[in-house]
Chains A and B, each alone.
Chain A
């Protein structure tokens, strides 16, 4: 199992293929296996050197007690690229992995060829979105309720609150929750729940609206047809100088799982021909 050290931590990564570099960044509570399950590793490896890694606190990487803002994760991404000799890469981030990818592009623009944002919502842009439309959160609340965890409907997808509740489940309810989510998932949630990840993921950490809008790289906003975050997609296309939107049909927030073929086709099209001319396309809102 390959590991690389960066920022004093050990990161589990997987690498395949050869060609221009692509780095894949999974979302919170996930791990790099998502990129195998949706065939991104297998398919992109035909034309690129593809690197996927487990974020700090996730999968087989180290789990520090704190340092889970998008700035911290972005620092890990660039440090890992240094360690692995990746000078310049296209970066693909799913959900919060997209926040990390864009934050890394803000901090080290010279290291990135292009950025693919798969359905992220940004703490700095939360005012754009209507909580009540997020079916994913409603489904998740219902599942949690059936497993004995009550989540507030007043809060946005609040990982801090969620972790807090999972950590304080008593014996009977913990057993029900464990049966509902499975033991490995429960153990990973408990491990991550003891860190500052939940609350850290809600802060801007320097990734302000202004900085988001100034990212002058080819950016693909890749959102599910029924994503709860289409207002964010519209904002990105309207305000980033070189951003275009692509919609994955038959998908909500998790296109790599819900429609892996559709997700992969749009991703491959973009990586083969990212939009070139700077400032050629700026849509009015």
Chain B
């Protein structure tokens, strides 16, 4: 499988997050969208999203490292753009 571009990854994420676990999110999702403050998700959702992405891309990804970094952040939030960059680095 060829490495997807940042734009392709953002499209994949937008599709997954737009209807995540049955929760509709109607606003536009872009690199500056905050995972927790804007999308209203929690760290448990990040665990589940990580699993969905691994299954979508068909490979293991070091989401544990991302989660641990999130645990060290004061605001415990993550930009969609940072997740795109993480995926681009590891796919």
| Interface residues, chain A, with chain B CB atoms under 8 Å away | 1, 14, 31-34, 36-39, 41-42, 54, 59-60, 182-185, 188, 257, 260
| Interface residues, chain B, with chain A CB atoms under 8 Å away | 36-37, 40-48, 51, 63-65, 67-68, 70-71
Contact A36–B45 (Cβ < 8 Å) = no
Contact B68–A33 (Cβ < 8 Å) = no
A184–B46 Cα distance when bound, in Å, is: 12
A2–B56 Cα distance when bound, in Å, is: 16
A183–B25 Cα distance when bound, in Å, is: 13
With A32-B47, A33-B46, A60-B48 already in contact, the answer to whether A184 and B67 are too (CB < 8 A) is no
Residue numbers in A under 8 Å from B47 (CB-CB)? 14, 32-33, 36
Question: Which one of A36, A42, A184, A260 lies within 8 Å of B42 (CB-CB)?
Answer: A184
A260–B37 Cα distance when bound, in Å, is: 24
Closest residue of chain B to A260 (Cβ to Cβ) is B71
Contact B71–A37 (Cβ < 8 Å) = yes
Residue numbers in B under 8 Å from A183 (CB-CB)? 40
Closest residue of chain B to A30 (Cβ to Cβ) is B44
With A37-B70, A257-B71 already in contact, the answer to whether A184 and B64 are too (CB < 8 A) is no
Closest residue of chain A to B62 (Cβ to Cβ) is A42
Contact A39–B64 (Cβ < 8 Å) = yes
Residue numbers in A under 8 Å from B51 (CB-CB)? 1
Closest residue of chain A to B77 (Cβ to Cβ) is A182
Offer 22 A-B interface pairs, CB within 8 angstroms, sorted by A. A31-B42, A31-B44, A32-B47, A33-B44, A33-B46, A33-B67, A34-B43, A36-B43, A36-B47, A36-B67, A36-B68, A36-B71, A38-B71, A41-B64, A182-B36, A182-B37, A182-B42, A183-B40, A184-B36, A184-B40, A188-B42, A257-B71
